[in-house]
A and B are shown apart, each in its own frame.
Chain A
Amino acid sequence: MTEYNEEDFLLLSGIQHFAFCRRQWALIHIEQQWQENLRTVEGNILHEKAHDDGFSEKRGDVIISRGMAVFSRTLGVSGVCDIVELHKCADGVNIFGREGLYRPVPIEYKRGKPKENDADILQLCGQAMCLEEMLLCEIKEAYMFYGETKRRLKITLDDALRERVRDVIQEMHELFERKYTPKVKPSKSCKACSLADICMPRLCKNTSVSKYIRDSLKEAE
């Protein structure tokens, strides 16, 4: 199995950008462009609360770990889990610095409500796959917490989902290797995109500059 070097790791959080729009991902992660808007700022505030760097607490048989940094050498990604709950149970795994066996359950916080696409779920599954590799265990389920509904949503991490995560990350690595920003079909989701000003979605509609210039020339003659 191929393994990635640490310096070639991509950000786990990029999965969500990538699933939303490959071009948006490339603008942020290859071209390093970012623009804050209301949505991203609200997201940051919510995450600040969830992360609270490295803070862990114990509630009964559950350890709640915030801001856990995770990575996977086989996927070549790294990132931070909002929350990982460690449930004490007989068929769990050893955890650093704790006695007993625990079962890890990642929980990802999102500002809004469940989305039509599965961007959030792919990212969550990616986190779980990192944890599996780091803790040598199997994680069967994880949760999404949505700020708007204030509800947890249980996600089953089946083979099909894992396969999709692997495919998406593979494609991300390929684009990153080429430093290529793909064109995409503009859609109505462009309206909600914080990078619309930088992306200029109309440029993806096969706009020909040489025609623009030729037309101007004709009109001048």
Chain B
Amino acid sequence: MRKLLNTVYITSPDSYLSLDGENLVIQKGSTEAARLPLHNLESIIAFGYTGASPALMGACAKRNIALSFMSQSGKFLSRVVGEVRGNVTLRKAQYRLSDNMEESTKIARNFIFGKIYNGRWVIERATRDYSERLDAIKLKKVSEGLAKALNLVLNSRNLDELRGFEGESATQYFSVFDDLILQQKDKFFFHGRNKRPPLDNVNAMLSFVYTLLAHDTAAALETVGLDPYVGFMHRDRPGRISLALDLMEELRNVYADRFVISLINKRVVNFSGFMQKEDGAVIMDDDTRRTILQAWQNRKQEKITHPFLQEKLEWGLVPYAQAMLLARFIRGDLDEYPPFLWK
């Protein structure tokens, strides 16, 4: 597996990013705040209306460094994408599969199989770790429901049927999500998913972390030569990174949700870092966002054994490994796409 390089998060809106030789230079006003060699970077994410020089954008595109701009609150704005890389045969095969509903369903089934399998594992794992504190019977029931859904998913005949099973499973999974929160329960609760805008602290965190994951997944797809905009389960919608969203499905709960829960349960985040607007929309303050980014960066460094490849790698490389496996499936090396089935 390749080496995991660093991601730079720029959180102050008054910084300007530029290129000097082989370095990224972060300027704040007229002073140089930091200088980092590009060859150590795999990703740059700027929050707020930070400026960047065209020279830096070009250098990033050339070196395959993903450069994304987010709003201050973490909403995705844009990505710098360079010249389309070679591998035209891979892209054409991807488009052909995407146009074929039967083939698309087969691939989408495995994304969703992974999502439900991992969701079930998150619940099972919590039940085992906190058996004294959790309503084991309630959780067990959901876990059994999800296990049943796995079978249905594999036998679904089209995307609509699959979306149905996916929706039901998500409802089941999120019905016990609040149970997994064991600390600071009066301030961090979950009564359902909402995102435009997030209406509680947990949803605000989930949205933010999903954005980070989407950036990483889209960048991974780009790196292996796949088109992140052409999906199988998520159909084409101009400007939407449908394939990145597809690939993310199996990673949401096991990678992002579990991360959010641990931030709350370990009291890494604190309720005072969240503000509510007049309409109920929740915003995080800069410190909280920085804390989350730091923790996310640490999580990326943690080593695991990939369940299919049986190879040790960092969490941060999992989107890349899955993108790679998807590319190799599309090129005919594998009989199916192997989702990331966490144990």
Interface residues of A, Cβ cutoff 8 Å to B: 30-33, 179-181, 183, 197-198, 200, 202-204, 207-210, 212-213, 216-217, 220-221
Overall SS of chain A's interface: helix
User: Contacts of B150 on A, CB cut-off 8 Å?
Assistant: 217, 220
Do A217 and B154 touch across chains, with their CB atoms under 8 A apart? yes
Give the Cβ gap from B169 to chain A, nearest Cβ, in Å. Answer: 13
Partner of A31 from the list B89, B310, B329 (CB cut-off 8 Å) is: B89
Residue of A nearest to B309 (CB): A202
User: Contacts of A200 on B, CB cut-off 8 Å?
Assistant: 309, 324-325, 328, 333
Partner of A221 from the list B147, B309, B338 (CB cut-off 8 Å) is: B147
Q: Other than the known A31-B90, A209-B335, A220-B150, what 7 A-B pairs have Cβ atoms closer than 8 Å?
A: A33-B86, A198-B224, A200-B309, A203-B333, A208-B335, A209-B329, A220-B147
Partner of B151 from the list A32, A181, A217 (CB cut-off 8 Å) is: A217
Interface residues of B, Cβ cutoff 8 Å to A: 1-2, 85-90, 110, 113, 117, 120, 147, 150-151, 154, 224-225, 308-311, 324-325, 328-329, 331-339, 341
User: Contacts of A197 on B, CB cut-off 8 Å?
Assistant: 1-2, 324
Beyond A181-B331, A213-B110, A216-B341, is A30–B336 a contact (Cβ under 8 Å)? no
Bound complex: CA of A197 vs CA of B328, how far in Å?
12
Partner of A32 from the list B88, B117, B341 (CB cut-off 8 Å) is: B88
How many A-B contacts at CB < 8 Å in the complex?
71
Bound complex: CA of A203 vs CA of B339, how far in Å?
14
User: Contacts of A213 on B, CB cut-off 8 Å?
Assistant: 110, 113, 154, 336, 338-339, 341
User: Taking each of B310, B329, B333, B339, which has the highest tally of chain A beta carbons within 10 Å of its own beta carbon?
Assistant: B333
Bound complex: CA of A216 vs CA of B333, how far in Å?
21
Could you list 20 examples of A-B contacts with CB < 8 Å?
A: A31-B225, A32-B88, A33-B87, A180-B332, A183-B333, A197-B1, A200-B328, A200-B333, A202-B311, A203-B328, A208-B335, A209-B110, A209-B308, A209-B329, A209-B337, A210-B335, A213-B110, A217-B151, A217-B154, A220-B150
